[in-house]
């Protein structure tokens, strides 16, 4: 059984690195169809609940830029 690894690659290196890995047949590209993704019902319910909450109280939303600033990104 082979292991699957997930990597985060910086944008400026990604294309060249992937092309090099393809040349030596070290990566496998897979296609995932939307219907193949199994999202649990509890998670869908939670997303709907949050959307309804923020529709009623939009002042509670925090912009992504504010989140990044708080996290020092």
Cα separation, 41 vs 43, whole angstroms:
5
pTM of the model: 0.43
| Residue that is written with structure tokens 């985060």 in the block | 8
Average pLDDT over residues 46-65: 92
Name the burial class of residue 17, with classes exposed (0-12), middle (13-18) and buried (19+) by CB atoms within 10 angstroms of its CB.
middle
Domains of the chain, residue spans: 11-70
Please check whether residue 18 is in contact with residue 24, taking contact to mean a CB–CB distance below 8 angstroms.
no
* pLDDT the model gives residue 41: 93
Name the phi and psi angles at 56, rounded to 5: -80, -35
Residues 26-36 pLDDT 10s:
888 888 787 77
Q: What is the mean pLDDT of the chain?
A: 87
More confident residue, 69 or 31: 69
């Amino acid at each position: 059984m082979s292991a699957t690894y997930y990597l985060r690659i910086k944008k400026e290196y990604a294309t060249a690195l992937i092309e090099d890995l393809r040349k030596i047949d070290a990566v496998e590209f897979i296609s995932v169809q939307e219907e193949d993704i199994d999202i649990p019902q509890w998670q869908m319910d939670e997303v709907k609940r949050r959307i309804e909450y923020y529709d009623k109280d939009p002042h509670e939303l925090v912009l992504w830029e504010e989140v990044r600033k708080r996290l020092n990104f």
